[in-house]
Structure 1
Amino acid sequence: MKMRHVRALAVFGIALVALTGARGSGGGGCDSHSNSGSSSSSSGGSGSHHDNDDNGTSGGSVSGGSGSANEALRDITIDTCAYDAATKNLTARITVKNDGVLDYDYDVTLKFKGTSATPATATTTDIAVAAGASKSADMTTPYPGTGDGSEYTKCEVTRASRS
């Protein structure tokens, strides 16, 4: 075999490894942007949430992949978020909508937050929602402040799961 054939095979081998081997590891290659896009879209998790804006309607966004926790977050809407002066509790009403084909039990953790207030958390478990149905649930936690509670203007679902 002549030297130029050996050199051509070596270059071909290096190019083959660079194009196929690097693509599988997520770096380089002709199509690496589609791999990195799919790996970044599966991140998210604890940063995902629904926010409630000042007028009591649901809002916010959910980013992340298709894991069970992310799917559970997408199923939850915050209907109200307020301070109840009669009970001195922070209260929220959520609606869980199960668009799936299976029945699920939902566990939800919600954070009450305000402009200068100490965050307060409420947790509820075992909200049973049949497939294709929705269910509302009230969440409460004692008011941690000494004022009138008006500083708590937002709620955020910080964790949700379904099983």
Structure 2
Amino acid sequence: MGRQLLHALTRVIARLAAWPLALLILFEEWGWEPLQRALLRLAKFLHLEWLEARIRELPPYAALVLFIAPSLLLLPVKLLALWLVGQGRMLLGTLVIVAAKIVGTAIVARLFTLTKPALMRLAWFERAYNAWITWKAALLAIVRESWPWRWARVVKRRWRRALARRGA
């Protein structure tokens, strides 16, 4: 009896934890391509094609260091945001975190696009990447099958139809 209760409780906790994680993953999914393209346009505007070409030529472990670097460099910014929240400046701290997330996602997305061929030459990275893609797809499938997700899609469709009728 105790083992079944523990198993049921573990499933409930996993389902509850899946939502925030899935929302974070969905943000990354929705933002990944547009932010990556925005950084590409910025690189072209700043005439940094030469730098992107150099990044594409990096050997696998150098590409890995470059790919990981933005996460480490954003850590002080996130600590600043926590400090701001601790100082009672909740709105400013939240804005710093959101800005760091958006900028970080853009940089990581662009760097991954540039370094992916080199990274995939690392067998362990390729295995980890494929496992991540499989796990992410399973998590998102669970979320997309849930009633809150389906309900939100229905509401979204109704809003679009209503807006389309008003605009027509």
Q: TM-score range by the shorter chain?
A: under 0.3
Whose strand proportion is higher, 1 or 2?
A: 1
Of structures 1 and 2, the one scoring higher in RCO (CA 8 A, sep 6+) is 2
TM-score (norm 2): 0.24
TM-score (norm 1): 0.25
Whose helix proportion is higher, 1 or 2?
A: 2
